[in-house]
Each structure stands twice: as structure tokens, then as C-alpha cells.
Structure 1
Amino acid sequence: MTVPSISITMTGSGGSGVMTAGNLLLEAAGRAGWFGMMTRSAGPQIRGGEAAAMLRLSSEPVLAHQDRYDILLGIDWKNADRFAAEIPLDADSLIVGPGEAPAIFAEAAGQQFQLDLPKIAKSVSGGRPNMVALGVAAAIVGLPEEAVAQVIDKALGRKGADAVSAGMESVRAGMEAAKALPSFNSLAVNTEAETTSQEARWNISGNEACGLGAVRGGVRFVAAYPITPATEVLEWLAPALPKLGGALVQAEDELASVTQIIGGSFGGTPSLTATSGPGLALMMESIGLAVASETPIVVIDVMRGGPSTGIPTKSEQSDLNIALYGLHGDAPHLVLAPLTIGDCVFTTQWSVVLAEKLQTAAIVLSDQALGQTRAIIPRQQDVGMVAEREVPATLDEDYQRYANTESGISPMSIPGQAGGQYCADGLAHTPTGLPSSKADDHHLQMDKRLHKLTNYEFSSHWAEIEGSDDAEVAVLTWGSSYGAASEAVAAMQAEGKKVRLIAMRLLSPAQPEKLADSLQGISKVLVVEQSHSGQFYRYLRAQYDIDAQVRSMAVPGPLAIRPSDVLKTLSEWS
């Protein structure tokens, strides 16, 4: 029997290669014409330790993990019980692995089958347990051997023919061993899609997608300091930028990285940095400098559990407050958030375009759940938006860099442009840039910086709106919580219930008129987010007049919000 999706988790201790096996399984699924996603989970250790690769494979695009896992496959069971809360099993779940699985798993699953993967690997010259696990997993879900062979050749080809041969022999040994397992539902192989999967589908992570969106938007200079879970943004950009005439600099810390991109932007090059919560906190003063000097920059914040060092390897949407309010003084700026891995491309690209157009700082709030999840997704077409900064065509001795124009956007000269000299620091200033402590100058420039954002037309990109036009209940969410909320709303609609979903991509400046229009006819609003204090809910209370009953569903990390969580809350309330 074939099913629309299968969820499988592979676990193993440090060095077992569980992540490699998971990545290869995902890529092979893409070659077979499927979609899917893989979330990795690990402890806070720098190196080694237990790890889990959690996959959902499907014949259709998927945005969230299911509420349970069909299969738990252990290369070994060392400390695997630490993932118990992240890997929900039930009476229909199957456990496969060497010896007895940890009791917390065995008691939850309906079936358990002992398969000693390390022992099977020893029967193959140069065999690896993780390649045996790949073969077992491929057989269970119904992947054709040819798709697995293609990814093995790609992954191990550089190590030579012997490595490829040992890898495939291990996979075949795993597939053969899987024949002894109880029968299990599999996915249907889309033979037509196999020939077009490489053109029509991408295998990409959210962090890589942010990097792609940045260069599509026009970013050509990046300065950053590595930090979990944002480092992969930089790893993708480092080799990509030189191919486009750009450059990436690894700065000595977050303070240096943000000031370097301000300098790069001042020189006329769209510039970006990527960090996580602790780094964003260090950057706040300099982001204020970008706002005050009207120098466009983009800061990607791949959020993780906080406060302080928190849980670097787990996800949470708890940097919203600092992104919105962390700058001292009145410093209007842009805050945006991608909704899916694919949307990381568009939202980052749009953020670059907006920052350059509006000459301000843009903070892009991704998170570990988006950034470090790898997925097979439909190819993301380039929407063609490219940064265009307003630069004066001609200049004279009366050039006013901060002139109070109708739009609030003043032409920004480029260093070396004759007659374009001006002072661009963080002091309050006159329209020419001359430092001033006069109230009139201060008020004029504050009004200018605010109005250029609040008067700008952000179009329909501000949010994704789905569901019934005549619904009375709405789910309002943002960022990575969109995936679970979207699946929950789709399930309710399949039951004939009328629900609307509003997922905000533009968080600041607030869009009260647009939200009011999208809530027409709604009497109940459920606000879904992954934070402990309900930061998004409280922001909505502060900035929007919502004429409906509003309930907060604020769930802190590190556990992901699942579709059933949203469904349960909606059902209990409505």
C-alpha cells in the first residue's frame, strides 16, 4: 500500500554518520521524484555526541513534520533517549536497531525489530553502519536502488571507486536485511518526475536559501563572525560572492562585522551580515547608526533558544522583541521573517531591495528550524527584484544628503562623487548632515525617517493569506510557525470547517489597515508563535486594534509546534 508521506528518524552517537545517511536519503528521495524535509537534532556539544536526523518524505511539498514518526531506525542507541520528546511514536510505529531500544521508545511503539547494523556492516569490506542504515531506510520507504546509487556515487566518488563500491555494497546489505522486517507502507515512485526532478526540485536548506536570496537581491559584500545556527549562510556565500564580483570577510567579532557592512554600504555596495541572538544583541548600537545615517544594511538573525547562550542547536522565535525594540531611541527600521525554506529566498531578496530603497536597516528573522532544515522543494523562480538605491544624478554645492523630500527618501551620494561630500555619523543633524542639537532639526529628521517607512506601499508581500473568505476563525502567525499552522488549517478545511490563515512576513513597520482588511468577518483569532512570553501576541496588542476575540498560543522551544497542537487548541476554543 502506498501513502502520501512517511516520517522516519535515524539516531546514532557521534561519528556514526547519521546525518550523512539522512542527507543521502533525502537527496535520493528527490531523485525519485519526491519532496521532503530533514531536521537535524543534536546536543549543545561542539563535537561528537548523540544526533538524530528526522525526515518526512512525501509525494507533495511539505512544510512541517507530522505529529508522529512511522519509523525509528537506530545505528546505535547511545543517549538516544535524550531525543524522546522530539520523536513521538505510537502503536503504529516501528523501531529498528541493534538490541533493545531505550525503554521510553519501546513502550511507545507498537513494533520493535532487532537489526544489528554495525554487525551487518562488518560483513562488507570497508562497510559502514550508516550506509547499511541508508539501505534499510530506502527499502522501508520504497526508494529504488538506482536513486540511492546516484547519490552514493556523487557523495563518495571523490574518494575513489573502492569507497563507492563499499558504500553501495553496504546499502544493498541493508536493503536485503530489510526484507525480514514487517511489511510497511511505502511511497509511490513518480517515474515521470524522476527525469525532471533535478530541474524542478531543489535540495536546499533555509540558510542556503537566505544566501541565494541575498545575492539575487544584489548583495555583493558580506562581513560576519561565525555563530550557530547561522554559519551556513556564510559558508554558502563565501564561494558564491567572488563569482559575482563580491567578497566575504570573516570579522573578528559581531561588532566589527556590522560596522564593516555599514562601511561597505556607505561606499555604494549592498551589504549584509548573518548572526544569531547573542550576536544581534552586540550589533544593536551600530544598527542604530545605520538608521540614523540612513545607510542601508541587512542583518539576518537565525534565531535559537535563549536567553544568553541558551540552546544554540535548537529553535525558538524569541528574538522578536529585540529585533523590534532593541535599538535605543526612536529608530524606525524594517523587520521581516521568511515563512518557509523556499520563502527564505524571496524574503531575503525583498529585504535587500527594501533596505536599499528605503535607506535603512532591515533585520531578517529566520531561525534554526528554517535555517538548518534541509528540504526538497519546488524550484524557486527569481522574482526579478534587484536593489536600486536612489543616487543623485548631478550635484552642486547645495547638496543636502538628508533633505526632507515628499517620500522621505533622499538621494544618497557615493564617495568620490563630485560635490557629494557629507557627514554620515550617528549624531542628530541638519538636512546637510551637519551635527545639530536643535529641536527643529531633530524632530524633522525623526519624522523623515519614520514617514519613509510608514508611507511606503509594501503590497501584498506583507503576508500570506490562505483559507476561507467567509471564515469566522483565523490563525495569525509568523515565521517558521507557519508550517504547522498551514497544515492544521488545511486539515480543518478538509473536514469542511471554515478557517483563515494569516502569516505575516513584514513585522515592522506595522500594517494595521492591511491586517484589518484580512480579518474582515473574523470573530476569533488564534495567535500561534514559538516563544515563552507571547512576544508576537503582545506586539499585536500594542500595534493593532483587532476587533475579535484573541487567544495566544505561545509555545517556547526547543520542541517544534506540530499541526496537532494547533488543531487541538482551535478545536477546544471553537
Structure 2
Amino acid sequence: MKSKLTLLIGGIQGEGVVSLGTNLMKTLSNLGYYTYGSRSFSSRIKGGNTTMTLSIGVEKQLSVEEHMDIILALDKETIQLYSSKLHTNGILLYDSVISVEDFNAESNRFIPLPITEIAKNFGSLIMKNTSALGFIGRLLGLDKSGLLTSLDEKYRAKGQEVVEKNLSTLEEAYHIKIEGLDIQDFYLLHPKNPSSRAVMLGNEAIGFGALMAGCRFIPSYPITPASEVMEYMGKVLPRYGGMMVQVEDEIAAVTMAIGASYGGIRSMTATSGPGLSLMMEGIGLAGNTETPLVIADIQRVGPSTGLPTKNEQSDLFSLYYGGHGEYPSIILSPATVEDCFYDTIKAFNLADQYQCPVFVLSDLNLGLSPQTIDDLDYDQVIIDRGKIAKKEDLAVIERGTFKRYAFTEDGVSPRSFPGMINGGHHVTGLEHNELGLPFEKPENRKKMMDKRLGKTAPLENEPSIDLYPFGNNNPTLFLTYGSAFGTVLEAIEQSEKKVDLGIIRRIRPLPMKQLTSLFERYDHIVVVESNYRKQLASILKEELGHHDKIHSIHKYDGTNFTITEMVEKIGAWF
């Protein structure tokens, strides 16, 4: 019996490969297993090969191996592309309607299954994914009742007839003997804690975090790989008095979010690189008017259209330096689905506390890879709206004298919302005085710039790097962010040589105090990131120096780091 295995499901895009993988993940998670799913898909709605690779185990899963224990091929191209990635003792299951004469198909490793035949017998070719689920469930030794329950939940809304046909299809496939295979070789060990767990995308966790943070408005424009944020919010917000608006472009999205935030409603938008470019002027407006703004940036390969279905982390410079002029902003960088939930809540609080744009910087792999998550801790959900003018303070001032941009000790001024008596004030993208009125005096400009850009300085003293030590007095720290975390962590655990691991969770402002301590502690800090220009490493060198201690491992071909690659890179430091 296995404590962990890797399964690749491949077929024609648009025919339910992801649905099959997700159904299996949900069933396994309900039984107490941990799963992680990595998608590979084309920039088209239907056609071409698509795969979903699942890592399944009794411990937390945060990455996938590049070699598979099981391949389930629903089309011929999957065999062509991935049969060479089988483990020595792995098996390739394929739909019996596929001809394998062109392949060197070893009889004990290539096993046909009547997937399509069973689906047709029970009603429709479209049910071949249900047929495949039955075979895989039996192969892994899963309890049939769990599979049947997941199908019932999935198809219940389509009517009893659809449910019955799918249940019958699964029953038939589950009980067919797979010739030439001892299925017990692939049975999974029973989970240590057989409690049911949820499966979520990073994008869904961002949406859920926003909902729990009190966000009630999201104007957004669809873009791969960020659309799931607006889709999730569109489903849930109406239940809580909120609204999702699909707007005409990203310019409308960002300015509508700013307007709602100015009105006192927690709001956000979500986008990727091309949309971020269109939002830049609006982001500067939020910075200059000190209006809270939350943006989720789910990075993909650029520039321009680039490779919209491939992973990259190349928006960091745009967020760190982007826009004309200078304004404060905060960049958070979650590394797991759970982080996406908690960091989005934190983003709304920071936006209100510091009255500036806050970015939740994710990437395609984190945003679109479903994962089994641990129970979320709702006690961590704290809402802090920051400095809001008090009614009793407004009552004693004359109308038109409210200093929305008052110079304060910490640089943050109390804000008022429309409708608050005596809280009215002028708002403009022009430089302004404390009342918000346009004002061009040099001394005022300097004071306003010092106020805006200095107010986030306290964050530099707050740690934001999670450390994973793997020994005593290791001289080398691997530092990464985003979805690369899981791969690097697994590589260190597999490697005979050990380095320490750091995950940076807030990139702007950098945790200067913590970084200073780390540079004193380590001889080498190796930054692992997915972009050409080594963006995080470059920012660290600019802000802290230590050019001799900062090194880079970077990848920019659209593919994810693999565990094997990282094990080799780790070994190179010894």
C-alpha cells in the first residue's frame, strides 16, 4: 500500500479532464487524504491536449512529481506526450478505443479499459469521465460509497435521471476486473486523520477571504488566470447584499473599485498582467487620494498576450516600481491556498489602515491548482477599518473645514464617508492641501509626499518571512515566494543536502529589520523565482546591497520548477 502516489489524467481539452480530476480530489479529500492538482492546458476553449496531474497522500501535498505512478489516457496524444514519464513500476491505463500500435506498449504496463464502451452502454459518451472515475477509484482502493456520494452531489441539480445514469456507469466500471494487474499494488494507506477536508483553488480562496473581510463589491473584467475570483464572488456576494459587476475593461474595474471604497464599501478587483497595465493610472489615483484599494494580481507569462495559460512571476517590477510618480503601496505574496485566504483578509485591513493600494500577488499555478486545505481558522478573521472620523469630532467643526488629509504623527489621516455630517471634502488627483483642495506650494508638496510615502514605514520593522530551518547553522537560505514554495520545500526534504528555506509573504515594504538579521546569519541567500530579470533578487540588491551574498535561480520558459531540478540546484551549493 502506498502513502503517496502521482496520477496524471490526460485527454482532449473541453471534454471534462479537469472535472474528472477535481471530482477525484474531492472524493479523496472527503475520505481524509491530501491532494494537489496541477493543470496543463492550452489557450483555447476546446481542443488540444490537456492534463491534470494529482499528487495524493496521507500528508499535506504542495507540489507534484514529474514522474507518474499512474497515467490515465483518454486520448492518444496523452500517451505520446507522457508515457516516457512513467515510473519504473508505473502503469498506463488507456481507453480501449485508442490504438496503441504505434507505441512500444509493454503488455504489463499498458492496460486497456472499456471506458467509452461502458459510458455508451449507460446512455452517453459524455459519461466516460464517470466511467474513468470508477476504474481509478477501484484501483486506489477507495470506498465506493464515497465515489457515489460525490457523483450524487455533482449531478443532483441536473435531475434524478442524470444522477442515476452516472451512478450506474460508475458501479459498472468499479466492479470490472482489470486484467493483468494486481490492483492492491496501488491501494492507498488509510489516512491518519480520516476527517473530511475541502478542496479549493487559490483564486477561490482569495474570493472567500474577500467575502470574510467584508468585501461587498467587485468590478472586474475576465482574464486568464484571474477570472475565477470574479466568478466566485459573483456567486456568493448576492447572498450577503453584495454585487459583482463585469465591466467593459480594467480601467473601469479599478476606478469603480476606487469609487466604492471612497463611499465606504470594501471593494476589490482581480486581474493579470495586461489588465494591470491598464489599471496603473487608477492605482496612482488611489495612492494620491489615499483611498483604500485591494487588487489581486494572478500572474501569467507576458508581455502582451504572452502565454496566458502558463505560469510566471514577472509582474513584480510593475507593482514595485509601476505607475508614474511615487505613491505608497503594499505587496503581499501568498504561497498556499490557505495563505490566499488569510492574506486577502490582511490586504483589506492594511488598505484601510494605511489608506493605499494593496496587492495580493499570486500566480497562475497557485491560482488555478486545486488543493486539499486544512480547516481555516475563523478566529483569525479580524476586521480593522483603520482611522475613520468620529461623529462627535465632526459635529464640532464647521462645514467645509474637515481636514481629510491632515498632517498627523503617523502620516495617516482620519477619513470620512459621503453622508457623514460635516465630513465633506474635496478630492482630486492634483496635489492638494489638508482640505483636499489643489495646492502647488513646494513646501506643501514636500510635506504631502513625506506623509504619503512615510506612512507604511512601520511595516519595515514587522517580519514577513516564514522560515523553515533544516539543520543547525546552515550557511545557505533558499528564499522564494508564491507557488514555487511547495516545490522547493519538497526538494529540500528529498535532498541529501539541506539548506534552510524562507518564504517572503510581504514584498513591499520589505521586512528590512528581518532581512538585515538574515544577511548577518547566512553566507548565501539564493532567490528562487519565475522570471527572466531576477526581479526579487534585484529588488533585494537595490534595497539592501549584499550583492556578494544574493544569488539567483530563475526560470522563464512558462513551466513550473520541478522537484528534480531543485534537488540538483540544492546539491550545487555543497
Matches within 5 A, 1:423-438: 423-438=426-441
Alpha-carbon deviation of 1:175? 2.8
Alpha-carbon deviation of 1:570? 1.2
**Superposed CA offset, 1:315-359 (max 9, x none):** 211111111111111122111111111110011111111011100
1:92 equivalent in structure 2: 89
For residue 241 of structure 2, what is the amino acid of its counterpart? G
Question: Quick one: structure 1 residues 566 and 14, their matched pair in 2 at CA, closer, same or farther if it must change by over 3 Å?
Answer: closer
Alpha-carbon deviation of 1:193? 4.0
For 1:296 and 1:149, the matched residues in 2 are separated by: 47
2:468 equivalent in structure 1: 466
1:273 equivalent in structure 2: 269
1:555 equivalent in structure 2: 555
1:186 aligns with 2:187: yes
Q: Percent identity?
A: 32
1:345 aligns with 2:341: yes
Q: Secondary structure at the match of 2:456?
A: helix
Matches within 5 A, 1:520-559: 520-546=520-546, 549-559=549-559
Conserved? CA contact 2:462–2:513, under 8 Å: no
Corresponding residue pairs, total: 561
Q: Secondary structure at the match of 1:302?
A: strand
Alpha-carbon deviation of 1:261? 0.7
2:451 equivalent in structure 1: 448
For 1:164 and 1:210, the matched residues in 2 are separated by: 32
Question: Quick one: structure 1 residues 527 and 101, their matched pair in 2 at CA, closer, same or farther if it must change by over 3 Å?
Answer: farther
1:30 equivalent in structure 2: 29
Question: Quick one: structure 1 residues 56 and 281, their matched pair in 2 at CA, closer, same or farther if it must change by over 3 Å?
Answer: same
Alpha-carbon deviation of 1:7? 0.9
For 1:555 and 1:214, the matched residues in 2 are separated by: 31
1:149 aligns with 2:148: yes
For 2:369 and 2:440, the matched residues in 1 are separated by: 49
Conserved? CA contact 1:140–1:178, under 8 Å: no
Alpha-carbon deviation of 1:160? 3.0
**Superposed CA offset, 1:59-79 (max 9, x none):** 1111111232211101222x4
For 1:562 and 1:379, the matched residues in 2 are separated by: 28
Matches within 5 A, 1:405-424: 405-424=408-427
Question: Quick one: structure 1 residues 178 and 26, their matched pair in 2 at CA, closer, same or farther if it must change by over 3 Å?
Answer: farther
Q: Secondary structure at the match of 2:28?
A: helix
Matches within 5 A, 1:88-167: 88-98=85-95, 99-100=98-99, 111-126=109-124, 128-167=127-166
Q: Secondary structure at the match of 2:432?
A: coil
Q: 1:332 aligns with which of 315, 328, 332?
A: 328
Conserved? CA contact 1:100–1:114, under 8 Å: no
Conserved? CA contact 2:28–2:34, under 8 Å: yes
Question: Quick one: structure 1 residues 238 and 549, their matched pair in 2 at CA, closer, same or farther if it must change by over 3 Å?
Answer: same
For 1:107 and 1:401, the matched residues in 2 are separated by: 73
Conserved? CA contact 1:90–1:110, under 8 Å: no
Conserved? CA contact 1:333–1:362, under 8 Å: yes
Conserved? CA contact 1:300–1:366, under 8 Å: yes
In structure 2, runs of 5+ residues without a counterpart are none
Q: Secondary structure at the match of 1:187?
A: coil
Alpha-carbon deviation of 1:13? 1.3
Alpha-carbon deviation of 1:504? 0.5
1:392 equivalent in structure 2: 389
Hey, which bits of structure 1, 4+ residues long, moved more than 4 A? 81-85, 100-103, 105-110
For 1:28 and 1:470, the matched residues in 2 are separated by: 43
Structure 1 window deviating more from structure 2 (126-135 vs 342-351): it is 126-135
Q: TM-score, normalised by structure 2?
A: 0.92
For 2:522 and 2:290, the matched residues in 1 are separated by: 39
For 1:373 and 1:154, the matched residues in 2 are separated by: 22
1:287 equivalent in structure 2: 283
For 1:421 and 1:353, the matched residues in 2 are separated by: 24
Alpha-carbon deviation of 1:548? 5.8
For 1:132 and 1:407, the matched residues in 2 are separated by: 63
Alpha-carbon deviation of 1:50? 2.7
Conserved? CA contact 2:460–2:510, under 8 Å: no
2:258 equivalent in structure 1: 262
**Superposed CA offset, 1:343-401 (max 9, x none):** 10011111111011100001111111111111111111121221313111112244321
For 1:181 and 1:457, the matched residues in 2 are separated by: 62
Structure 1 window deviating more from structure 2 (547-556 vs 340-349): it is 547-556
Q: Secondary structure at the match of 1:57?
A: strand
For 2:209 and 2:150, the matched residues in 1 are separated by: 26
For 2:177 and 2:288, the matched residues in 1 are separated by: 63
For residue 181 of structure 2, what is the amino acid of its counterpart? P
Q: Secondary structure at the match of 2:7?
A: strand
**Superposed CA offset, 1:213-245 (max 9, x none):** 112222122111111111111111113222222
2:226 equivalent in structure 1: 230
**Superposed CA offset, 1:525-548 (max 9, x none):** 221111122112212211223486
**Superposed CA offset, 1:135-155 (max 9, x none):** 122122221111101101111
Conserved? CA contact 1:52–1:83, under 8 Å: no
Question: Quick one: structure 1 residues 374 and 536, their matched pair in 2 at CA, closer, same or farther if it must change by over 3 Å?
Answer: same
**Superposed CA offset, 1:420-462 (max 9, x none):** 22222211112221212222111111111111111246744x2
Alpha-carbon deviation of 1:49? 3.5
For 2:217 and 2:233, the matched residues in 1 are separated by: 10
In structure 1, runs of 5+ residues without a counterpart are none
Alpha-carbon deviation of 1:478? 0.8
Conserved? CA contact 1:75–1:118, under 8 Å: no
Computed over aligned residues only, the root mean square deviation of the Cα atoms, in angstroms, reads 2.4
Question: Quick one: structure 1 residues 35 and 357, their matched pair in 2 at CA, closer, same or farther if it must change by over 3 Å?
Answer: same
For 1:157 and 1:38, the matched residues in 2 are separated by: 25
Q: TM-score, normalised by structure 1?
A: 0.92
**Superposed CA offset, 1:398-430 (max 9, x none):** 432112211110001111222222222211112
Conserved? CA contact 1:91–1:109, under 8 Å: no
Alpha-carbon deviation of 1:209? 0.2
Q: Secondary structure at the match of 2:478?
A: strand
Q: Secondary structure at the match of 2:51?
A: strand
For residue 402 of structure 1, what is the amino acid of its counterpart? Y
For 1:260 and 1:292, the matched residues in 2 are separated by: 16
Q: Secondary structure at the match of 2:89?
A: coil
Conserved? CA contact 2:334–2:361, under 8 Å: yes
Structure 1 window deviating more from structure 2 (7-16 vs 51-60): it is 7-16
Alpha-carbon deviation of 1:490? 2.7
Structure 1 window deviating more from structure 2 (430-439 vs 356-365): it is 430-439
For residue 329 of structure 2, what is the amino acid of its counterpart? H
For 1:554 and 1:204, the matched residues in 2 are separated by: 28
1:320 aligns with 2:316: yes
Alpha-carbon deviation of 1:178? 5.5
Question: Quick one: structure 1 residues 56 and 416, their matched pair in 2 at CA, closer, same or farther if it must change by over 3 Å?
Answer: same
Conserved? CA contact 1:278–1:308, under 8 Å: yes
Matches within 5 A, 1:9-24: 9-24=8-23
